[in-house]
A = this chain, B = another copy of it.
Amino acid sequence: MARVGSAARAAATVMAASPTQARNAALIELAHLLRASVAALDVDNARDLDAARANGLAGPMLDRLKLGAKVIDTVAEGCEQLAAMPDPIGEITGVKRRPSGISVGQMRVPLGVFGMIYESRPNVTIEAASLAIKSGNAAILRGGSEAIHSNLALWRLVQQALTTAGLPAEAVQLVETTDRAAVGRLIAMPEHVDVIIPRGGKSLIERISAEARVPVIKHLDGNCHVYVDADVDLDLAVKVTDNAKTQKYSPCNAAESLLVHERQAAAFLGRIGAIFAAKGVECRADERAAAILRDVPGLAVQPATEADWAEEYLAPVISVKIVDSVDEAIAHINRYGSHHTDAILTTNHPNAMRFLREVDSASVMVNASTRFADGFEYGLGAEIGISTDKFHARGPVGLEGLTSMKWVVLGNGEVRT
């Protein structure tokens, strides 16, 4: 790993100084190679799929492992979209003349080397590689052992694209061993690696965070709240709450907790309860909410326990609580939430502004579905991950999260007195 790290560091220096055009050309070439290699990639992917089946892997796990023409076309298109985006590197902002005579501003530069640790889905190999290329960084990728043949095949295309564009092939390296100790070494080389980005389950991320000796862009739980305020457009509230909870159950930005102002409780809970009943969503409700929800035909209602307020179900289950004020809603969210994404549905402007300011979450929303918390929806073009931390990057992390700002000073012989 030290050899891999040292090669990455050397490649990062070349990438940082490389022309915009070379990096874009590598992305276009990579898209071309991906589309031209559908059949060949299928052979390597089949080896992983066969091994997974032999190991008794189940349906959804197999689905995530599968490449195929459609997935390949999507990642190829992602490369082309990145190539078309403005270069984040070299941007100079805020240059101001100081009383001493010097001009001071900031220049956006690559972070250097990032390590990406992920599971199952081999398309992450291309997503991470293409973000590294565009942002002028080097990357060390460590995919899941179950996808090793697919990842190796994809990585060979990345190396070919880099070489064709005149960039160092070592700018994107794949850890070829499936030895688990390699991860331990990757996260403890501050001299070679500037940041670690894990994508996977909570236990993987917690373990990496505890053991890493470099910064980690962490993505932990998404216990997202929808709060229906006292003043609200009920039709809007029903539509948005339905979407936030039921459009998909598994994403981290799906709603897991519903807070309703007591003034709207009877009217709103009756309507959303009917939708939940029709879609098979179970409610874990406090006493007051349960008293209303139990009247909804066909709705599963359970009493909420303390643990329910903090739970990320990722399933057709939602906790429901009636509150008496926007203050109570904000306090509840800051206490039990996971600082991911929370929304207020209201027509009251002061309450909207207080919610935006006081809810301590990476994304705070007014009258929109929590499901919008996503790099593409936010216009970042691509997403390397979602951060539940406050340090460096918060919420969806795009190309800018892979950069830092250094100070530039332009003088004409000024000295300090």
Interface residues of A (CB under 8 A from B): 13, 16-17, 90, 96, 98, 100, 102, 104, 107, 109, 111-112, 194-195, 210, 213, 215, 233, 236, 239-240, 242-244, 247, 334, 343, 354, 356-358, 360-369, 371-373, 377-379, 390-392, 394-396, 404-417
- Pick from B13, B392, B404, B408: contact of A364, CB below 8 A: B408
Q: In the complex, what residue of chain B is closest to A417 when comparing beta carbons?
A: B247
Q: How far is the CA of A379 from the CA of B362 in the complex (A)?
A: 29
Closest CB pairs A-B (n = 10)? A368-B411, A243-B415, A371-B416, A236-B413, A365-B409, A392-B392, A363-B407, A390-B404, A367-B411, A215-B391
- Pick from B90, B104, B239: contact of A413, CB below 8 A: B239
Contacts of A357 in B (CB 8 A): 16-17, 90, 107, 109
Q: Is the CB of B90 within 8 A of A406?
A: no
- Pick from B13, B96, B98, B395: contact of A406, CB below 8 A: B395
Q: How far is the CA of A100 from the CA of B392 in the complex (A)?
A: 27
Q: Is the CB of B247 within 8 A of A112?
A: no
Contacts of A98 in B (CB 8 A): 377-379
Q: How many copies does the complex hold?
A: 2
Contacts of A100 in B (CB 8 A): 372, 377
- Pick from B90, B109, B240: contact of A360, CB below 8 A: B109
Q: How far is the CA of A413 from the CA of B96 in the complex (A)?
A: 41
Instruction: Evaluate whether A390 and B112 lie within 8 angstroms (CB atoms) in the complex, with A367-B413, A369-B414, A411-B365 already known.
Output: yes
Q: Distance in Å from the Cβ of A353 to the closest Cβ of chain B?
A: 10
Contacts of A90 in B (CB 8 A): 357
Q: Distance in Å from the Cβ of A405 to the closest Cβ of chain B?
A: 6
Contacts of A392 in B (CB 8 A): 215, 391-392
Instruction: Evaluate whether A394 and B366 lie within 8 angstroms (CB atoms) in the complex, with A16-B358, A236-B413, A247-B416 already known.
Output: no
27 A-B residue pairs with Cβ-Cβ distance under 8 Å, sorted by A, are A16-B360, A17-B357, A17-B358, A104-B378, A104-B379, A111-B390, A194-B390, A236-B412, A240-B411, A242-B415, A243-B416, A247-B415, A343-B409, A362-B406, A363-B407, A364-B406, A366-B408, A367-B413, A368-B409, A368-B413, A368-B415, A371-B416, A372-B411, A372-B416, A391-B391, A394-B404, A395-B406
